[in-house]
Structure 1
Amino acid sequence: MSKGSYEEKAAPGYARSRHELLDAGRVLPPPFDGVAKTSAPRAADVFALVEPMLREHGAGVVLLDEPFADEEFVAFGARLGTATEETDPAVQPFVTGGVILNLLGKNRRTDDVSLQPFAENSLSLHTEGSGRVAVDQPRYIVLMCCHPGPRPTAAQTALVPMEEIFGRLSAGDREVLSRTRYAHLPPGETILREHDGRPVFSFRDFLGGRLDWVNDGGDPPEAVDVALENLHAAMYAPGARGVHWQRGLLVVIDNRRHFHGRTAGTAPAGEPRHLKRLRIR
């Protein structure tokens, strides 16, 4: 066993790529097969459209005539699994019915990580719930747009398939990451694992923060740091897709198949962007 900490260097090679993706105002290409339009008013009908997209791409994108009412939105989530309660005290003013998080882009930049989803900040690429054991991480993230805000190409939701990132890493880096975990997690909860024959990453780009890690294979700290740096570089290599939000757009992301993040937004003087989110286990 070896232990250590990973901290971003003053000028890591991937910093420019991250800036270009998240903070340079780029308009990203749309995800996969584009948007399936539907006037279906019921959760079951929309799920029938989304399910084959999830199987093929690990994400589904559907444009509803009108956003679901909260009851129907929760009913749609129930088709995927069990909605996770929003328990963070900092976000309770934005929670409806215990499980719907209202993502309102109305605030200027903030250093408070809990409030960054409601601010102009970009959000670094991550697996949702990477600091938890795998069984407690969401399987799906469901996002629905009630209002896109004044600039639909700002605050795009960025998607990067895990299989693409896996393919950019060397065999040696993959092996090291499959033996490395966050220090507070128990053995077996590694940054890279396999599920149903696919590579799954459980990881967040901490930006300037420190990541304390444990390697259960005894790899030297230098090898772990190199593998983590190469993972960041692979995450921010060209190829990300971006969701351009419009009213009624509903997106489902498989948390075991995609990293996701968000490009920088602009807090408007008028009506802000409003997405509703469910996290499904």
Structure 2
Amino acid sequence: MAQPAVGFPATAADFPGEILDGIDRDLVRYGLGVVRLDEPLPNGLFRKLGSALGTVTPETAPDIQSYVEDGVVLNLRADAGITQDVSLQPFASNPLSLHSEGSGRAVADQPRYIVLMCVEPGDNSASTVLVSMDEVAAGLDAEDLRLLRATRYADAPGVPPVVRSQGDHVVFAFRDFQQDTLRWVCEADGASPEAVNGALGRLLTRMYEARGASGVLWSRGLLVVIDNTRFFHGRTAGLPRAAARTRHLKRLRIR
């Protein structure tokens, strides 16, 4: 899997300099900003970067507070081993299925950008996988898209449909539930359960068969900004926590 083709080198000491301009330019063009910093930004500048992109979202989940700094910086340390606990999966070594962030929330509560910065890549660490929503949408036919535009999670009132339009782009609010059951409702005329399940199945197939998928191979100082309305993201498996060096990323979510 190829690494993202976009990106530019920069010096952390020069922040903001041309860093913010470069990120803004690449987010508009590609939905992705990649900066190869010589060193990670300190928390104060990392938060400043997030605030320049939008409104930084507080990390309020009780189960993850030991990983949170300054209320908004989430330390993604891969120290939870192999776990099926959903709240701990961001810190686990097992793979993380493809998803859009906050797909079970209202549009106003879904992050626009995910900012990830590498402090420690770790030994044989996992890669972050990026899949273009435009490419996935191009692989679905008109009937599948019609059904998915009228389909939403059943157990999350106020959430958007699986597919919506935003400007020139098709946006998905969806995650691969893997072994868990996805309960859905569909308001499309003439939509049978078989047809909707078929459309959802073809969506999952296109997500995992996307030829343009890229994998971020982390190195210290690498900073990646993901437009959550243009990319699915996930994670490959990494070594269990017995590894000599544990992967450590910092994350901000931006609305």
User: Fold-level match, TM-score > 0.5?
Assistant: yes
Superposition pairs for residues 1-281 of structure 1, below 5 Å? 28-33=1-6, 35-41=7-13, 42-43=15-16, 45-151=18-124, 154-186=125-157, 189-218=160-189, 219-239=191-211, 240-266=213-239, 267-281=241-255
How far has the Cα of 1:45 moved from its partner?
3.2
**C-alpha deviation, 1:108, in angstroms:** 1.5
SS in 2 for 1:78: helix
- Kindly indicate whether the alpha-carbon contact (under 8 Å) linking 1:187 and 1:216 is maintained by their aligned counterparts in 2: no
How much has 1:134 moved relative to structure 2? 1.0
SS of aligned partner of 1:83: coil
**Does the 8 Å CA contact 1:149/1:268 hold for their aligned counterparts?**
no
Residue 235 of structure 1 aligns to a residue whose secondary structure is helix
Distance 1:32 1:138 in 2: 24
Deviations 1:91-124 (A, max 9, x none): 1100001100000012320010111111111000
Deviation at 1:135, TM superposition (A): 1.3
Q: Percent identity?
A: 49
Distance 1:148 1:268, change over 3 A: farther
Runs of 5+ consecutive residues of structure 2 not aligned to the other structure: none
Residue 37 of structure 1: how far off its partner (Å): 0.5
SS in structure 1 at match of 2:165: strand
> 1:38: how far off?
0.8
Deviation >2 Å, runs of 4+? 184-188, 267-271
- Any conservation in 2 of the 1:141–1:253 contact (CA below 8 Å)? yes
Q: Which stretch has the larger CA shift, 185-194 or 260-269?
A: 185-194
Q: Closer, same or farther in 2 for the Cα pair 1:182/1:77, shift >3 Å?
A: same
TM, length-normalised to structure 1: 0.86
Contact 2:12 2:39 in 1 (8 A): no
Amino acid across the alignment from 1:39: T
Question: Which residue identity lines up with residue 24 of structure 2 in the other structure?
Answer: E
| C-alpha distance in structure 1 between counterparts of 2:129 and 2:196, whole Å | 27
Q: After alignment, is 125-134 or 38-47 more displaced?
A: 38-47
Separation (CA, whole Å) in 1 of partners of 2:246 and 2:159? 42
Q: Tell me if structure 2 keeps the 8 A contact 1:141–1:255.
A: yes
Post-superposition shift, 1:138?
Answer: 0.1
Counterparts of 1:238 and 1:196, CA distance in 2: 22
Amino acid at match of 1:228: L
Q: CA deviation at 1:187?
A: 6.4
Q: What is the distance in 1 between the residues matched to 2:36 and 2:101?
A: 24
- Asked whether the 8 Å contact 1:32–1:57 carries over to 2, the reply is no
Look up the SS of the partner of 1:159 in the other structure: strand
